[in-house]
Amino acid sequence: MTLKISSAFDSGAIEVLSIDRAEDIKVHIRADSHADFRQWFHFRLQGAARQPCRIRFLNAAKCTYVDGWKEYRAVASYDRRRWFRVPTSFDGEQMLIEHTPERNSVYYAYFEPYSWERHLDLVARVAESPRVRVRDLGSSIQGRDLSIVTVSSAGKRPLWIIARQHPGETMAEWFVEGMLERLIDPSDPVSRTLLAEAAFHVVPNMNPDGSVLGNLRTNAAGANLNREWMSPSLERSPEVLHVRAAMRETGVAAFLDVHGDEALPYVFVDGCERLPGFTPQQGELQRAFAAAFKRASPDFQDAHGYPDDKETKVNLTLASKHVGDAFGCLSLTLEMPFKDNADLPDVEVGWNGERSKRLGAAAVEALLAVLPHL
Ligand code: ZN
């Protein structure tokens, strides 16, 4: 059987340089469709069953987050459901996957994908709950629906959760899936108590086009949506424009912007403490939320995070900084690893979709803990 690599499917991305022999496959990681970020890959290899494959990523050192390749292992799947880690190394120039697939068809990816079809299924499924109202906020550049899921019973205090501004950070939508499943569970006492006081406004996928196009960081206009919050436009960042307008209608009592971090092998949050208008009450809320999140999930920690001098800490074009400044509320960027949680590693799967889902469910508990102070 001839060797073949393909990527013409949802979130597929790779450039094949040579594929003559299984032990000498050469590829390039592709740039985002309309911008020069590159890190995400997702492709199918056929015809290599029981052959020791060596897949060389020749431009790994020219990718956006080179630190992302250190101690990193790629994921693979035969059935596109169960994803496992495969031996991967980085020598400072090239990345190398060494894997002997058991089957003739195997998929490799940067992280467990979350497909657009799964997104549509999720939105349709939660819409069946009597607690849920799904609304269309508008369209992406390429005309995909931008859906918002509002979960509420009696409560009104507006809690906002958004995910996948950076479309390659698929763990963010797995997180939202876990959170929504818990919120609509009629037998969950935490959700019931929370929803008696609060309403959740959840955008499961902020960047539908970038997700389908297999982009790491940008939409179909080449915009990094998490740098568009000061002045979004219909031409360049309609996704942010529509969500920001909806936030101004409801107000925001707490905000989580969910992401994945390429380099750090930890789950952590990044707050607004470096902003000029940051209040002692916001500081107290950040501390209380972190403490409650640690109790709710041992996957969360607050020892490791971004350094205090990181430029993004004072950049009001970022969602969490813009919202924290505009609404004076608890406002956090939540980061999960592409690699693994070094505090609680899993050799077989690393950090993955299921673990992200559990974390999303646990976040509901942390929000309940701080609710009286929001
Ligand atoms: Zn991100």
Tell me how far the alpha carbon of residue 216 lies from the centroid of ligand 1, in angstroms. 9
Q: Residue for token digits 């196009």?
A: 213
Å from CA of 268 to ligand 1 middle: 13
Give dist(CA 245, CA 236) in Å, integer: 16
Domain boundaries, the chain: 4-109, 116-373
Q: Would you state the pLDDT for residue 169?
A: 98
Q: In what order do the strands lie in the sheet containing 105-109?
A: 4-6, 42-46, 105-109, 75-77, 84-85
Query: What does the pLDDT read at residue 275?
Result: 96
Find the 333 Cα to ligand 1 centroid distance in Å: 9
351 alpha carbon – ligand 1 mean position (Å): 16
Centre of ligand 1 from the C-alpha of residue 49, in Å:
35
Show the low-confidence residues of the chain (pLDDT under 70).
none
Whole-number pLDDT of residue 1? 76
Buried-state track 110-128, b at ≥16 Cβ within 10 A, e below 16:
bbbbbbbebbeebbeebee
What is the pLDDT at residue 340?
Answer: 98
Q: What is the pTM for the complete model shown?
A: 0.98
Q: Determine the pLDDT at residue 227.
A: 98
Write out the CATH class of domain 4-109: mainly beta
Q: Where are the beta strands (DSSP E) in the chain?
A: 4-6, 15-18, 25-28, 42-46, 53-57, 75-77, 84-85, 88-90, 95-99, 105-109, 132-139, 145-151, 157-163, 198-203, 254-261, 268-270, 330-337
Helix axes 238-250 and 319-327, enclosed angle (nearest 10): 20
CATH of 116-373, one of 2.40.160.40, 3.40.50.920, 3.90.1170.50, 3.40.630.10: 3.40.630.10
- DSSP state letters, 321-354: HHHHHHH-SEEEEEEEESS--TTS--TTT-S-HH
Q: Which of 316, 228, 329, 332 is nearest to 278 (CA)?
A: 329
Q: Are 177 and 119 in contact (CB under 8 A)?
A: no
Say how many Å lie between the CA of residue 254 and the centre of ligand 1: 19
**Listed residues: CB within 5 A of ion ligand 1:** 166, 169, 259
Could you tell me the distance, in angstroms and rounded to a whole number, from the CA of residue 332 to the centre of ligand 1?
Answer: 12
Please check whether residue 15 is in contact with residue 30, taking contact to mean a CB–CB distance below 8 angstroms. yes
335 is catalytic: yes
Confidence (pLDDT) at 336: 98
Catalytic residue among 23, 102, 335, 365: 335
Residue 112 tokens read as: 């467990």
